[in-house]
Chains A and B, each alone.
Chain A
Amino acid sequence: MLLTAADWQAVWLTLKLATLVTMLLLLIGTPLAWWLARTRSVWRGPVSALVALPLVLPPTVLGFYLLLALGPNGPLGQLTQTLGLGLLPFSFSGLVLASLLYSLPFVVQPVQNAIEAMGERPLEVAATLGAGPWDRFFTVVLPQAKPGLLTAAVLGFAHTVGEFGVVLMIGGNIPGETRVISVQIYDHVEALSYAQAHSLSLMMLLFSFVVLLLMYSLNRHSRLNFSMSRP
């Protein structure tokens, strides 16, 4: 492997981004999944659709709207400026925000499926035994949904590592700030430096394969495939 210092910088940045995004997504996504799995609100449909949007939208669409919305004339850009945060495009924080949206369904759906698969019964039993709602969430739901959470974390992480279109739209290709692995590979390919592109690409390929392999082996051991919903 012939990785340059710039390549390693991109690798490090990507890992930092994916780790941070995965942790934030588990924090945000788990309550959201819990709510989606249990609610009978009329908002369930619209919220589910919103969460799943990044699955079907081309990343460039998401990136383009983020660029406009986060820009100085966009509503979010005006908000961040008022809050003294400045503008988010071309910054690491901007990438974190974009990745949260982009990888949200990959975290919410496995957790939601795990909670739905669990059914009402364990919760009813826990309630009969006198467990309050919070108690039920932490001592029943979370342990039962563990394989789902694991799948969610792995998918969220891997999907953020593989993010490209959105980053290209709002990143601005700044070394150490927004130049992640996928953008670095793209630069190598565009500049016709295929040898360098190969080193990084091969690394990504192996990484993705190992991650998926791990996930599927873990899921098999728990004897439940939580990446698919159960009836």
Chain B
Amino acid sequence: MFRLHRYGKAPLAFIGMLLSSLLLSCLLVPSQAIAAEVMVAVASNFTAPMKDIAARFQQHSGHRLVMAFGSSGKFTAQIHNGAPFEVFLSADQAKPEALIRAGFASADSRFTYALGRLALWTTTPDVDVRAQLHSGQFRKLALANPRLAPYGAAAQQTLAALALTDSVATRQVMGENIAQTWQFVSSGNAQLGFVALSQVMSGGHINNGSVWIVPDTLYQPIRQDAVLLKKGELKKGEPNPAARAFLAFLQSAEVTELIRGYGYHRE
């Protein structure tokens, strides 16, 4: 940025070429051409199952899902400000409710698609993770920010129920969402971390390391709600057919079976 002009006009020519080729590629692939596309905003914890679900949905219906993964809080703010998402799979109930109240989502489309479960995870195999938490034999304990993420709030409730809040206070580090929390543990920077069970389990088996599945009695249930957004309606009360098909598929027995393999419960 400080020295660009020193190289004369070559960089400008290059940038020009880049821009024109970008423009060209936009013209060649008009996004409107593929009709049956659904834009879905998905809470980070549901990333792995969602990819599975999307593949199957595409196979069954021919519709394509365009997915964005991230924190529910960020998606809520974006939807409030005109983001083009048609369906929102939140990590909680509060955010879909807020969107309905603000008129960005339809009330009768809301349902609980999964009950999330919390897991304490370390990458070291064959250890008693719970005992490790109690004995304090770790340098850092990762959890999602309780203010932002339902899994973080559940982790906080669990620590309180175990009377460990004070003893871990100086050693806890917070990820902005559950994906970053997973990354802190996965990279070895935190020895223990409260993650979503779905992040460390697939097909009913733990992927790697050791896990303590936190008993459901230690934290408030993590009810994750899905909702159809106004952008997913052709006109009032009439969802775009692909979005409708996807919401129906999400409630099917096939998906129930599939997400149980990732450690979720269903009502």
Contacts and interface: CB of A to CB of B under 8 A. Distances in A.
B71 A190 contact: yes
Interface stretch (B35-43, B54-62, B137-145, B160-168): B137-145
A187 B190 CA distance: 21
B139 A191 contact: no
A102 to B, nearest CB: 15
A174 interface: yes
B76 interface: yes
B77 A67 contact: no
A168 B175 CA distance: 8
Interface string A66-85: 01101111000000000000
A157 interface: no
Interface string B173-188: 1111000100110011
Contact of A186 (B5, B139, B176, B187): B176
A58 interface: no
A68 B3 CA distance: 32
A113 B6 CA distance: 11
B184 A187 contact: no
A192 B140 contact: no
A191 B148 contact: yes
B145 A187 contact: yes
B2 A109 contact: yes
A78 to B, nearest CB: 11
Sort chain B's interface into a size bin. Answer: 20 to 34
A71 B176 contact: no
B176 A173 contact: yes
A203 interface: no
B2 A113 contact: yes
A68 B176 contact: no
Nearest to A94: B189
A73 B188 CA distance: 7
A192 B176 CA distance: 14
Contacts of A109: 2-3
B2 A90 contact: no
A173 B145 contact: yes
20 contacts: A67-B189, A71-B187, A72-B188, A73-B187, A90-B190, A109-B3, A113-B2, A169-B180, A172-B142, A172-B173, A173-B145, A173-B174, A174-B173, A187-B176, A190-B73, A190-B176, A191-B148, A227-B2, A228-B5, A229-B5
Closest 5 CB pairs of A and B: A172-B173, A173-B174, A190-B73, A72-B188, A89-B189
Interface of B: 1-3, 5-6, 71, 73-74, 76-77, 98, 139-140, 142, 145, 147-148, 173-176, 180, 183-184, 187-190
